[in-house]
Structure formats: structure tokens, C-alpha cells
Structure 1
């Protein structure tokens, strides 16, 4: 028996040694990918920085705000903004075909030398969200102030940067006499912040009726980050390859009501509270797959040795990595369908039991789930409770398809991003966009739909998107224009 146990122990140690060697070799092989990365050829393009900044700052002075209530839309602000674009980008408006779609959205067509090839589409949106607490801003939200190394104003990051950056790149290329091989489309919706139904959706439908096929679509949704991903020392360009789905459910609990001095065992507020607790205590499962897994795999070669050992062997350490990621709100959102109560309403007087209690719960749906499957999950959790459930009027949609990171289009995007920052080229990695963009409407026209703006951001800057003191560093706006220039040249080639 002792000899048998000894042989079993020796065998176990042997297996452990083999496993350890396999893990180490795998980590070494992954690390070699970073060593084999060829330095990018620097991008050569002349830009007039003061003029760029002046045009951008001017564009931020137009309050092109969209509201949930369409009656509040100020069309005049959009018309004035579009007149401004005509004045400051004369080559674009002289040489490209310009169409107005859905009342206020813009579609530009730049015919390629070979119109039989699939085209390329660059997206941005003209509209911005309202500026809450304008008195709390360092500079007025619609003044387009240039100060302290920044351009300040609503839309500086989301997304007048995209609109102006794309137009600056096109204007520069036209000035150089550039002729794209593929047709280039530029599309700027006017209602992205409220769902894009009248803008991007109608542009996508229009292109579909014309039989347009796209080799690539590039929209907002990704940035360059630095010191925001633990263990990665280099800057990382996060290119969105998919976005989560969207669903808001209104839950309404009912009860007889009455005087608060003699409450029943079950009240409307109590039932609704119990329902929300049920949702919180029964979250959707964690799934380290899809874009999030690919992100970790792309980052693995550039991490320190101990982290590389883990990320290079997700087949073994995946559950551990997922648990660690799920500890932060952003990491958790990248791994599962999330739920968040965003509105709750009940009661009319402190001593009166309400007959109804209502809550709106917002779900951001992970790829692999659907609006239908999430709704069914909620129905099963709340079965038997006196609660009615319905979708809100804001609409719902499934997660977008996941675009291929091995495609030629993605490779061209990655090369262009690195060329624009050849002095310190970032690691280019795919990721899952937690919010919604106009890009989702164009997945029917192309399997290669990506989301990226060539600006390096910090957590403090990201917090200004839809918040107070939205701004972009001057040098980063210039880099964004350079990136669009590189992308336009690369994606419109043969």
C-alpha cells in the first residue's frame, strides 16, 4: 500500500510539473507576440493646430440639444450648426454630395475610383445632451472656451469631436488631391442621444435601399486609456467590436391602500421592494467570453510576467479572473447583463398607504442574451407577486453582433491608430461597449462595425461625458484628427 501511495504521489507531482511547464511555456509564447510587434511607420500630415482648435471651439457654441420630449427640439440650432460646417469645410461641401435625412441628419458621399467595391462609412452625431447645472461649470457649456490646455464645452468628447474630426480629415485629404479607391460615406445623425430613430436608423435604411455594402463602419465608443487597466504599462486603444443591448421594464405593484395606522402585511411599496431585492439577489451569470475575453487575450503579451501567466491561460484561470473583474462596476458590466433601478414612485401623503408603487428597471444586455430572454428571466423571478410588467416607450434592442478582430478592416484600423501615435504606439484591443451608439443600425450593412475615437482619456475626463465641465485636451483633439486622417486613407484603399 505504501508503494502504491508513493507511486501515486510521484505521478501527481509529475503531472503538476508538466502542468507548470505548460503554463510557463504558454506565457512565454504569448509574451513573444509583443516582441514581434513591428514599430509603425510614422504618419506624415501637416495640420494647422490653431485653426483646428478655433473651428472646433466654434462648433461647440451651437446648443444642438436633444431631449426625450421631441417638442423641445430647437431645429434652428442644428441649421445654424450646419451652416457653420458649410462655411468652414468648403472642399467637403463643394466636392462631396450632401443629403439631409430625417429632417436634420447629414449624409455625405465621396465616390471612389471603383464603385463596385464595398464602401466605408464614418459616423458621428451632431446632437448633445443638456448641460445640467451650467452655473457649476468652470466655463459656460456652450461658449466653446479654449483655456488651460483644453477646449471646453458640451460635445467636446461626445460627439462634436467625431463630427469635426472626420470633416477635418476629409477636408485635408481633398486639399491634397486624394482620391479614395472605395466610396467613403460620412454620416452625422441628429438624435443619437435619444435613440437615433430619426437619424442613423433612417440613414441606414436609405443606404440599404440603394444596395450599399460596407467593408467597415467606424463610430464613436472607444478611447485610448493609460494606467486604467491594472498590469498594463502601455497605453491601450479600446476599439468597440460590439455593444450591449437595452431594455427598460416598468414594474407596478398594486394593493388595496388605506390608512397607515392599520397597514396590512403586504403593501404596494413592500411588494415592489421585495421584487427589486429579488432581482438584485438573482443576477445574471458571469460569462468571460466574447469581446471581454478577447480584450484580455490581446492585453496578455503586454502585462507583467505574473499577470501574463494568468491571462495566457484563461482556460484554467478564467473563473478566478472573472471573479476579480466583477468586483468593479465597469468589470462587472463587461461580464454579464446588468440591472439598475432608475426610477421609483409611490405615495401621495405620509399617512396614506399607496394603492400602487412603480419602478423602472434598466437592463444592459450581454451578447448571447436577448430582450426576450431577459424579460423571461424577470417574469420567472417575480412569478406569483401582484406585479404587472411592461416595456417602457424608450424602446428595446438586442446586443449587436460581435465584429471580427481578425478581419482586414480591424487590422487596418489597428495599424492606423498606431501610425497616428508612432512615438508611443498603443496596444490596440477589442472591447464591449456598455452603452448604445448609432453604429448598431449599420450591422445589417457590414459585419465589420467598430467604435473608436482617437483621444487619450483619463477617468476624470470620462466623468465629464454627460456631466459637468466636458472638455478635451488641445493636443488630443489634434491627435484625433490625425487618427481620422490615417483611418480614412487606410480604409478607403483597395
Structure 2
């Protein structure tokens, strides 16, 4: 029986389309499997997540080891050995933990990873940041399938506890002897989704401060007007904080500064009152009152100035007030007396930045203006070691839903992100300029 040329071509393209669909289905299924592992605090299933990552490493023939700097907090480290191990390596970092979810507020269960008719994958961690960790692996899978071999060695780190500060995860890793032997030249870590078509990119981040203000005063009858009662003094402080917050927010609203360029202050809790079986005692003014605030400082802010404001305006001792301040203080090189956080270079003369722009463009993407990350990530610990770190999560045309109800990522956007990382890893690992690696560390 003779088969026409057109029939052969039709069969060939049908095979290609079918294979592509099947491959995409497998990729999405692996993503769903990772999302279905409940790694939410306070009881994240870290070992289950580690087992899943290691199973993927085995399927890709990558080197792997589990490091446990703190019991119950496994760090999974993967390795794709490059042809020239004398060159500084590339580190792709991600965290396996996620924040808790209020299940009743979700339209789909947060750990089922359901896909709706639009292709949106609903799951806690779909944006922050299990997507990135799996995209690294899928990009390497594609590169290996194509026969590509890296010149530089690639490491992938899957760390715990980023959502609660990272001190028992990424911080422990960066301070270890194992890390120093990895000879890391550049780190990629998480970024944020972008509501428009450009990808967001971050070269620094704000430092996290936790402030608790406590007011004290004599208790009294609920009907009597007192000067300097605990609640009155605390309310004065809250109003002072509110005015400062408004002044910072106004600059963002006016387009004068980006969110990551101002000091943000948000109240996290308010606590006072005398409990009763039915609620609170209403005719008794409490002798103590507390309020807690989450504060974020951009790297170019003056910490001393804010501390002075706290002690003199927000919690003055003259109003029977005290405060407790916990702050992240970045390490600084011995020749840096500024006390400010590290930032990663982004100018056009910087090799890694140029490579990133080139890679994204090759994958038909576009980078936005470099930003300061408005929150804090594990990238700070790598920068503390003098290593440049770039925040990048390839999610364009996507609402920002990290830590929000109904967090989702569209499967088409997830697949496009894999192409982005494939291009980036290929560019980074093919770069052989070692002199600029050294220079970039000195610039930090």
C-alpha cells in the first residue's frame, strides 16, 4: 500500500504534537506532586519533600546529598558537574517550606494542586516558591535531553525554614565548610510575579525588623478619665506610627518610589485587656498594653535614624513605654563601614547581568527595571558571604499572590518559566570569564 507524502507529514506532526502534549502533562504532574506535599509551618513535611527532590535528582543522574545542620531541617544539595571545575559555580537556590493556609478561605484545597478550566494551578507554594525549584530541575532535564554539557558546575539547594527567617536553613548552609568548597560565583533565588508582560528582577532586599511596643499604667475604673493610662499611651504611639507609615506609602502611591524603596511599617498584633469567661472585663482599664509591628528597611535607609525615632517618638520612656526590637543586621566586609545591606551589581558592565538579559531575551522574555525586593529572602545570606545574588521568579502576566488566599500559577506560565531557566542556565554555565567573577565579589 502506498502512503502519500502529505500523509507521512501529517503523521509526523501529529506525533510531535502528541509527544509535546504528553511531555507537558508529565511536567505539570510532577509540579502537582511537589505542591501536594504539605510543607506548611508549623509542621512542614520536610523529609517527604526531600525524598521527592532526590527522586528527581536520580532520574536526572545528578549528584545529591542531604545535609542536616539542624535536626529535622534537611537541606538537599544537588550537583551537575561542569567540564571546568576551576571556574566558580552557579547556585540555584529555592526553599521547600510554605506559609500556612486558611483552608476555608480557598476555592480549592490548598494542598490538592487542582487545575481549573483556565489552566490555573491552585496550591500553597505555587508562586512562593515550589514553582522555581521544580523549574530548575525541568530546565536541566531539557538541557540534558538536548545533549548540552555545562562548562561551569551547577548546584541546586533546596533549603528549609525560609518563611521563618532561614536561620536554620540557608544561613547554616552559607556558613558551612561544604559551602565554601562549592566556590559559588553567582546565586539565583526567588523573585515575585509580575502583573504585566515584563519579568521582575531584584538586586537587593529590605531588612526585616520586628518591633514590640509595651505601655504600662495604673489600672482603674472603666468610667474614669486618667492621664497616661496604658491604653491611652499606646494609642498615641500607634497614631505616630500610622502617620509615618502614611508618609512612606504616599511616596509609593504618587509613583515617586517603588515599594521596595521605602520603609514599611504594618501592625501585626494588638494585645490588652483583662479576660473574663464571656470575653473581657469592660469596666476595668488595663495596666498593660502591647502592639507588634513588622518593619522593612531598604538597603540605603539609615537604621540609626529609625531607632532614634522609635525611642523618642514611638515608645518614649516619658510615657511609661518600653520596646523590644529584633532586627536583621547584615554582615559587612572589613572595608565597609556603612552598616548597610549588600546589593548585587546591575550595570551593563557586569557580566552576570548582561548574561541574564541575553538569556531572557533569547527565550522571548523582557526584564523590567531592577528592583529592591520589598520583603526578605534567603538571598541575604549569600550576599553576606560577598556573593552576588539575583532574585528572579519567571511569572509574567500573573497577580502577586504569595501568602494570599487562592495562590495560583497558570500552567502555561509555569512551562514558559522552564524555558527561561533553560536559557539562563545555558548562558551562565557556558560563560568562561573568571576574572570578572573575582571583580564582582570585590564590588560588593
- Classify the TM-score, shorter chain: 0.7 to 0.9
Q: Structure 1 pair 207/238, CA: closer, same or farther in 2 (3 Å)?
A: farther
Q: Distance in 1 between matches of 2:246 and 2:301?
A: 10
Alignment of 1:285-304 (within 5 A): none
Q: Residue 334 of structure 1: CA displacement?
A: 3.2
Alignment of 1:49-448 (within 5 A): 49-67=24-42, 73-74=43-44, 77-92=45-60, 94-102=61-69, 103-132=73-102, 134-148=103-117, 149-206=119-176, 210-226=180-196, 235-282=197-244, 325-327=252-254, 333-348=259-274, 349-369=281-301, 371-381=303-313, 382-383=315-316, 384-392=318-326, 396-398=328-330, 400-406=341-347, 407-420=350-363, 422=364, 425-448=365-388
Q: Residue 253 of structure 1: CA displacement?
A: 0.6
Q: Residue 456 of structure 1: CA displacement?
A: 1.2
Q: Residue 476 of structure 1: CA displacement?
A: 0.3
Q: Residue 432 of structure 1: CA displacement?
A: 1.1
Q: Distance in 2 between matches of 1:210 and 1:96?
A: 18
- Tell me, yes or no, if the aligned pair for 1:325 and 1:331 is still in contact at 8 Å: yes
- Tell me, yes or no, if the aligned pair for 2:203 and 2:371 is still in contact at 8 Å: yes
Q: Residue 371 of structure 1: CA displacement?
A: 4.5
Q: Residue 356 of structure 1: CA displacement?
A: 0.6
Q: Residue 172 of structure 1: CA displacement?
A: 2.5
**SS of structure 2 residue aligned to 1:121:** strand
**SS of structure 2 residue aligned to 1:238:** coil
- Tell me, yes or no, if the aligned pair for 1:182 and 1:492 is still in contact at 8 Å: yes
Q: Structure 1 pair 279/138, CA: closer, same or farther in 2 (3 Å)?
A: closer
Q: What is residue 480 of structure 1 aligned with on the other side? A: 417
Q: Residue 374 of structure 1: CA displacement?
A: 2.4
Which runs of at least 4 in structure 1 moved beyond 6 Å after TM superposition? none
Q: Structure 1 pair 323/258, CA: closer, same or farther in 2 (3 Å)?
A: closer
Q: Residue 481 of structure 1: CA displacement?
A: 0.9
Give deviations 1:32-75, integer Å, cap 9, x for gaps.
xxxxxxxxxxxxxx8921111111111111101123xxxxx24x
Question: Which TM-score applies when normalising by structure 2?
Answer: 0.81
Q: What is residue 489 of structure 1 aligned with on the other side? A: 426
**SS of structure 1 residue aligned to 2:199:** strand
Q: Distance in 1 between matches of 2:166 and 2:425?
A: 24
Alignment of 1:27-38 (within 5 A): none
- Tell me, yes or no, if the aligned pair for 1:244 and 1:367 is still in contact at 8 Å: yes
Q: Residue 153 of structure 1: CA displacement?
A: 1.1
Q: Distance in 2 between matches of 1:440 and 1:452?
A: 14
Q: Distance in 1 between matches of 2:381 and 2:76?
A: 15
- Tell me, yes or no, if the aligned pair for 2:207 and 2:297 is still in contact at 8 Å: yes
* Residue correspondences, number: 388
Q: Distance in 1 between matches of 2:106 and 2:246?
A: 38
Q: Which moved more, 1:465-474 or 1:106-115?
A: 106-115
Q: Distance in 2 between matches of 1:377 and 1:203?
A: 35
Q: Distance in 2 between matches of 1:413 and 1:131?
A: 34
- Tell me, yes or no, if the aligned pair for 1:238 and 1:452 is still in contact at 8 Å: yes
**SS of structure 1 residue aligned to 2:308:** helix
Q: What is residue 12 of structure 2 aligned with on the other side? A: none
- Tell me, yes or no, if the aligned pair for 2:200 and 2:370 is still in contact at 8 Å: yes
- Tell me, yes or no, if the aligned pair for 1:190 and 1:196 is still in contact at 8 Å: yes
Q: Distance in 2 between matches of 1:135 and 1:254?
A: 38
Q: What is residue 295 of structure 1 aligned with on the other side? A: none
Q: Distance in 2 between matches of 1:442 and 1:434?
A: 18
Give deviations 1:360-406, integer Å, cap 9, x for gaps.
122110222355442222112243321001125xx534564221112
Q: Structure 1 pair 91/179, CA: closer, same or farther in 2 (3 Å)?
A: farther
Q: Residue 246 of structure 1: CA displacement?
A: 1.0
Q: Which moved more, 1:407-416 or 1:203-212?
A: 203-212
